[in-house]
Structure 1
Amino acid sequence: MKLFRTSDGTALYYRSMGQGDPVIMIHTIHMNHTVFEEIAKRISRKYQVILIDLRGHGFSDKPLRIDFKQFAQDIKELMEFLYLKSSLLIANELGSAVAMDFTVRYPEKVTELVLINPTASNEMLPKERLFLKYAEKVRTWDNSEQEKFFEKHLYYSKNKVRKFLKSVDNSAELLTEYEHRAVDQAFQNVDIKELTTEVHKRTLVIAGDANERVTPMEAKDVADLIPVSEFCLFKKSGVYPFVEEKERFLKTVKAFVEKSSKASV
């Protein structure tokens, strides 16, 4: 485990694997770097992959107050610590908001963006919106019954995702109420829609067709708002296209990055 201490004294967990051009992977709210472990090993065959636990998440420190812009500041400082001039960013769900904010603040440090199931809405967190949609039906059920029900509205390959999630640390369960609230408030205090129009880097938006937490239509809206973007729908995926359609995901990202390389020659 490697820890990096930011300028404000916050300890952040990160991992680096592989060699080559850098790829920084950014997880979503109340998740951590382990969600990318499996796909990162594949990407690291050709690239240097950096996984990070955002402040308030995973093995990183859990401040009781978090300003959304601190996520981007943390990544900038980590890049400087690792002597990285610029990087491809791959971000999942609300991690996409962090990636876009970083790109707007530090455009010289970003080559391209890959956003997985992004949303431009932050009026309510994605998980809360999905629960509200079916609350009348499931509100009295116990947690295991609710989880089984929501699987049908989140994943295409339920068994594959169920197996995958066993390898992902459920660090959010260990958060105190105050730590949990600090993270929620940070993500709710940003205008994601405004960010999308200010991103001027080539962006690939990937959406899972079976995902009701962040619908393909929401992800397409993000792609439409970003000036230079491509949209790709994964019809046999939901929340985790990089798990449910791993080989297609790798090929799609590879083609996107290679297109940038050819254009710059």
Structure 2
Amino acid sequence: MSYFKYQGKNIHYEETGSGRPLFLLHGNTASSNMFYEIAGRYAGHHKVVLIDFLGHGKSDRLTEFPADLWFDEAMQVIGLMKTRQYGKADIIGSSGGALAAINVALEAPELVGKVIADSFEGETPLKAFTQNIEQDREASKKDENARMFYYYMNGDDWEHVVDCDTSAIRRHDSTIGKFFHKPLEGFQPDILLTGSREDEFICALETDYFERVYGEMIRKIGHGKIHLFDTGGHPAMLSNQQGFLEISRGFLEE
């Protein structure tokens, strides 16, 4: 297993395949294990780089996640990019990983080729989600499927990971309230925004959420594309794996 140091902590990462580097960034309460199957399908054309953000997977644990979680995760990615000297790398981020991916591109555009941001809230937290996060997370701990997911992603101490993430989301919502430090108008790389119209976390609250929010983001950026799948849950990247592979490969190879 490979590790690099970030602020004195060990962050786990893996590389597979060859070609132009492609980072896959996992979402909240997950780890690089969420890409176990799909990573191999990119490895024929890319050097796929998987990372476990601090506090997740095989990386060192934290007593508390930072409130500015998705910005800090972006700084971890930039740290790995510089340590390994990948040159320009493409990034696919899913759910919370999409927020980290966009932050990477805003903070270090010279290191980024193209970005695919999948199944995320937009520029600001979705209040209907953050206001009920504690109750929803406590309920998920009692759900067998959710427990199996948490364990597969993070191991025996999965409950600590979930609690740290829940606390960070609440603190971010109450003290920061926006995901990106720099305005989207300065976003440089090519970008594709993806999601599913059946996303149970987002579109269940507003059917046309992605059309509205993604559309506004593309207007601010001034370039980019949107692709929404009619079916499939959260995240679209995994619930529509074959379709996502086709769309993403086409975009990355343009």
Whether the 8 Å contact between 1:92 and 1:118 is mirrored in structure 2 is yes
Q: Note the C-alpha offset of 1:183.
A: 3.9
Residue of structure 2 equivalent to 1:173: 158
What letter matches 1:11 in structure 2? N
1:1-265, aligned counterparts within 5 Å? 1-6=1-6, 8-63=7-62, 64-66=64-66, 67-68=68-69, 69-120=71-122, 121-122=124-125, 124=127, 126=129, 143-144=142-143, 168-171=152-155, 173-175=158-160, 179-180=164-165, 183-184=168-169, 188=173, 189=176, 191-192=178-179, 195-215=183-203, 217-220=208-211, 221-226=213-218, 227-259=222-254
What letter matches 2:169 in structure 1? D
**Structure 1 regions of 5+ residues with no counterpart?**
149-162, 260-265
Greater shift in the superposed pair: 95-104 or 220-229: 220-229
Q: Distance in 1 between matches of 2:52 and 2:113?
A: 21
Deviation digits for residues 126-176 of structure 1, max 9, x if unmatched? 4765898xx8xxx9999339x79xxxxxxxxxxxxxx9x599425572416
Q: Distance in 2 between matches of 1:254 and 1:4?
A: 29
Runs of 4+ aligned residues of structure 1 deviating over 6 Å after TM superposition are 139-142
Deviation digits for residues 168-198 of structure 1, max 9, x if unmatched? 4255724168744564357543513765444
Q: Distance in 2 between matches of 1:17 and 1:57?
A: 20
Does the C-alpha gap of structure 1 residues 107 and 73 become closer, same or farther in structure 2, counting only changes over 3 Å? same
Q: Distance in 2 between matches of 1:73 and 1:23?
A: 17
Q: Note the C-alpha offset of 1:212.
A: 2.6
Does the C-alpha gap of structure 1 residues 177 and 225 become closer, same or farther in structure 2, counting only changes over 3 Å? closer
**Structure 2 regions of 5+ residues with no counterpart?**
none
Does the C-alpha gap of structure 1 residues 209 and 105 become closer, same or farther in structure 2, counting only changes over 3 Å? same
Q: Secondary structure at the match of 1:31?
A: coil
Q: Over aligned residue pairs, what C-alpha RMSD do you find?
A: 3.3
Q: Secondary structure at the match of 2:37?
A: helix
**Identity within the alignment, %:** 19
What letter matches 1:207 in structure 2? G
Give the TM-score normalised by structure 1: 0.76
Give the TM-score normalised by structure 2: 0.79
Whether the 8 Å contact between 1:118 and 1:222 is mirrored in structure 2 is no
Does the C-alpha gap of structure 1 residues 203 and 167 become closer, same or farther in structure 2, counting only changes over 3 Å? farther
Q: Note the C-alpha offset of 1:123.
A: 5.2
Q: Note the C-alpha offset of 1:50.
A: 0.5
Q: Note the C-alpha offset of 1:115.
A: 0.9
What letter matches 2:246 in structure 1? K
Q: Secondary structure at the match of 1:169?
A: helix
Does the C-alpha gap of structure 1 residues 237 and 197 become closer, same or farther in structure 2, counting only changes over 3 Å? farther
Greater shift in the superposed pair: 199-208 or 184-193: 184-193
Q: Secondary structure at the match of 2:103?
A: helix
